[in-house]
Chains A and B, each alone.
Chain A
Amino acid sequence: MIAPAELDAQDCAILAVLQEDARLSTGAIARRIGLSQPATWRRIRRLAEAGVLAGQRLDLDLEALGFTVTVFLGIKLATRGRVSLEDFERAISAIPEVQGVQHVLGLYDYRVRVVARDLADFERILRRRIMTLPGVGDVEANVLLSEERLPGPLG
C-alpha cells in the first residue's frame, strides 16, 4: 500500500495517463508527463509492486457486439444464514451473461451486472438462470441508460 502522502503529482499524472490508455509504452508515458524514461519506469514499478495497478479493462462497444441491454440487479437473499454465500456467489458468477458481482451491505446483499441481447433475452436470463438460484429473494432490476467513469481523486 502507498499512503496518500507518498503519492506525488508525477505519480498521479502517471496513473491518470494509464487510466486513459493502458497500452502506452513507458517512453510514451515519460514524454507525456515530462520525466525521463528510467524515472517513469521506476515509478510505474513502484505503483505495480504496491498493488495500485489492478489490471486492464477493455472497453468494448457492446451494442456493436449485439448486446443492446445492460441491467443492474439488486439481489436480496431470502434465507440468509441457511444459504451458503459461497455457493450463491459461485453459481451466479458462473452465468456467462453476468459481468460483475459485488457483495454489498444495505438494502440488498449483491449488486449484479448483466448483459443481454435484448429485453426478451434479459427476461429469459432472469427467469431461467437467476431466479432459479438457491436463496434468491427480492430482486430489483434497473436498466442502464448511460455510464461514465471518472479518474478519481488524483492530485
Chain B
Amino acid sequence: MLDDTDRRILRQLQAGPGLAASALAERAGTTAATCIRRIERLRARGIIRGQHMRICWPALGYAVEVSLRITLDKTARNAFDDFLAEARRVPEVIEMQTFLGRVDVRLSLIARDMTHYQHIYRHRILTLPHINDIEALMHLSSVKTDPVLPL
C-alpha cells in the first residue's frame, strides 16, 4: 500500500507533472533521492502508468470541439466493438468513452470550424455502425482541467 510519503509525492506530481525531482521533493517535503526512488517504484507497480503531453488543439487551428453522446442499437451483435473500431479510424476523434447509463458512448471530436465539423459529422460520424441516437454538446470552455485526486 501507499504511505504518506507516496501520497505527498503523487499529489505534487499531479499538480506539476513536468517538475524536476528536486522541485518535487521540496514541495513534498522529502529529498530528491527519495522522490526519484518512490516515483520509480510507483511506475514499476503500475500505479503511474504514463506521462503524456496534452496538445492544445485550438493552437493548431482546431477551434471547434464537440462532445457527441451516442446511444447504440444494442440488439445488434457486437454493436459496441464494431462502433468503437470504426470510430477509432476517424482522425478527428480524440477521445472515446463507454458508459453505463443513458448514454452508451461519448466521442470528443475536433474540427477547424463549423463547416469542417459539419463535413466530418455527415461523412464520418453518421456513417458509423449501429447508431441509435446522437446528441451534441458544443464545448465552450474548460473550467477545471488539471485533475488532482483527493489522496
Contacts and interface: CB of A to CB of B under 8 A. Distances in A.
Nearest to A11: B60
B135 A55 contact: no
Interface of A: 1-4, 7, 15, 18-23, 50-62, 64-65, 67, 72, 74, 89, 92-93, 96-108, 110-111, 113, 115, 140-154
Contact of B140 (A15, A18, A74, A103): A103
Interface in B39-55: 45-55
Nearest to A67: B149
Contact of A4 (B51, B61, B140): B61
Contact of B49 (A60, A67, A110, A140): A60
Interface residues of B, number: 61
A130 to B, nearest CB: 14
A15 B56 CA distance: 11
A107 B95 contact: no
Q: Which 7 A-B pairs have the closest CB atoms?
A: A142-B101, A96-B150, A99-B147, A56-B17, A18-B53, A54-B56, A142-B99
Interface in B69-83: 69
